[in-house]
Every structure is written in structure tokens, then in C-alpha cells.
Amino acid sequence: MIINKDVLKEVIGGSNKAELIVRLNQSKIPYIIGRGGWPFTTEEAINKTMGVSDQKPETHDQVKIEI
């Protein structure tokens, strides 16, 4: 899933074996991104290609998340 970065509210956690946990502006549910380690800053998260598919974000204003 690719989302615009303006809906990415904050990075709230993660772990080395799990994924990056973020909170979206429109949701109270934390979402998980990617398969990298922690920590990431929000800007690093936005700049990385996240998730497990080959699909890449179309612009720098988007970030891929795996739900």
C-alpha cells in the first residue's frame, strides 16, 4: 500500500526483528512499515522504500506501508 506522507502522523516504535510502527493521521491504529531495523526518524522512514513488494512510491511525497 502506498500512502501520501501527509497522512503519516508519527513514527511510534519498532524492533529489529519486526517492522517500523507508524501512526496515520486518519487512524487511531498503528501501522507497520517495512522490514528494516529501528530506529528510523520520520524523514528516514519517508525516504526509504518500505514494504515487501517491488512497487516503489511514485513521488517523494509518498511512502509504502505494509498492513
| Boundaries of every domain in the chain | 2-64
Place of cell 505494509: 66
Place of cell 508519527: 10
Between residues 8 and 17, the one the model is more confident about: 8
Label residue 18 by pLDDT band (50, 70, 90).
very low
pLDDT of residue 30: 54
Label residue 51 by pLDDT band (50, 70, 90).
very low
Q: With a threshold of 0.75, does the pTM exceed it?
A: no
| Residue among 12, 65, 62 at smallest CA distance from 41 | 12
